[in-house]
Homo-oligomer: A and B are copies of this chain.
Amino acid sequence: MSPRFTDLLTPAAKSIKASEIRELLRIIRAKKDVISLAGGIPDPRYFPLDELEDIMRVVIKNYGAYSLQYSETKGVIELREPLAKYLYETKGFRVDAEEIIITSGSQQGLDLIGRTFISPGDIVITESPSYLAALGVFRFYGAKLIGIPIDENGMKVELLEEQLRKLRSEGVKPKFIYVIPVAQNPGGTTMSRDRKRYLVELASQYDLLLVEDDPYSYFVFDPTVDTTPLRTIDKEGRVIYMSTVSKILAPGLRIGWIASPPELARRLELVKQYMDLHSPTLNQYILLEALKRELLKKHATRLVEVYREKRDAMISAIEEYFPDYVWYSRPVGGFFVFAYINKPGFNATKLMHTAIEKYKVAYVPGQSFHPDGRGENSMRLSFSYPPPETIREGIKRIGRLIKEN
């Protein structure tokens, strides 16, 4: 008789469920006639393949065995130093190399933060909607999530203030507030400068930690948009800033970083050590070489052109094909438009299979992005992968779905 493994699992491992999006993507992949606006993966036609091939050659030539050996848990110092410089140049905040932890993509950053701070029952505040895998991992650690609604200027900070006041009156202190200020996933919204200032002030007033997730601000379509990170506005060391090369270079490298207040960096390092000793040395040297060549900046310029065209295709198609009662975001960056279909009884979750089978189009139902499980009438539409003409056709099909259901 084989052991009953289920009895041996932790409660969290027992209750974990498959990601809805991943399962959905699996279904869609098999159906060639379905246009997918579901997945949020970068367009692989724009990976800098030739540059990366050359970079790998140079990494082995210049760093040799060092690039293949065990290395420091925080990440190799040769990378953390120029990365600190790059963050100052592009984001405007000074950070010491010792305050940076290289992670295996943003997801490991989220996991590391969750593992370091969240005990079962702890309160974590997020935007609503917010990044699914962040909600997932915070919940895995037992967090109770409180979602603050967004509008076109990002998190409604006045509602956050109400919530904080309420929690304080109950004697409850949240572990941290998780936000994606620029080109939010899935919201597609960007916080205004005023909202960011207000948020940082609230954090100070209520003595809170902010976790700022910033994968998209490195290629914003409109140069007039304010992309100043919370980290740059904050003067009290309350912001844990995290980002990744997944969107600006290649997700398959799994390299991200956390810039955190110094006393915390040491703690995160100790926790990360148990997770994987360190992120792949080779991949870190690849990023180092890319930074040396200013490939990230050059490539971002190219990505702006590519994704701006795709975003424009989606927005103009929405203007043409969606009825007036749909609210949708107008993203200044990132990969996503988020839409609320304000039509009584419209349920994007229930309509998902109809969309795929009858209308031959796929989106991600917005419900699971909402910490409180609402948002049945919402959907995330991704413009990152398909070419512009396919995006237009996909939106046309969703327009029909909305009108006819």
Contacts and interface: CB of A to CB of B under 8 A. Distances in A.
Given A2-B237, A2-B261, A69 B57 contact: no
B136 A274 contact: yes
A327 interface: no
A357 interface: no
Interface stretch (A48-56, A340-348, A363-371, A374-382): A48-56
Contact of A107 (B42, B71, B236, B276): B276
Interface in A238-286: 238, 246, 250-254, 261, 263-264, 267, 270-271, 273-283
Interface in A27-52: 41-42, 44-45, 47, 49, 52
Interface string A2-45: 11110011110100111100100000000000000000011011
B133 A282 contact: no
Given A60-B52, A251-B70, A273 B22 contact: yes
Q: Is the interface of A mostly helix, strand, loop or mixed?
A: helix
A198 interface: no
Interface stretch (A116-124, A178-186, A293-301): A116-124
A115 interface: yes
A263 B9 CA distance: 12
A3 B133 CA distance: 26
Interface centre among A4, A71, A237, A254 (most CB of B within 10 A): A254
A169 to B, nearest CB: 20
Contacts of A146: none
Given A60-B56, A68-B250, A277 B10 contact: no
A134 to B, nearest CB: 10
A104 interface: yes
- Contact residue range for chain A? 35 or more
Contact of A270 (B18, B67, B107): B18
A251 B185 CA distance: 34
Contacts of A281: 251-254
A208 interface: yes
A288 to B, nearest CB: 13
A68 B47 contact: yes
A65 interface: yes
Interface string A203-229: 000011100000000000000000000
A253 B274 contact: no
Interface of A: 1-5, 8-11, 13, 16-19, 22, 41-42, 44-45, 47, 49, 52-53, 56-57, 60-61, 64-71, 73, 104-105, 107-108, 111, 115-119, 133, 136-137, 140, 175-176, 207-209, 236-238, 246, 250-254, 261, 263-264, 267, 270-271, 273-283
Given A8-B117, A53-B56, A53-B61, 4 more contacts: A13-B117, A19-B273, A252-B282, A254-B276
10 contacts: A8-B209, A9-B267, A11-B119, A13-B115, A13-B267, A41-B70, A44-B65, A49-B65, A52-B68, A280-B280
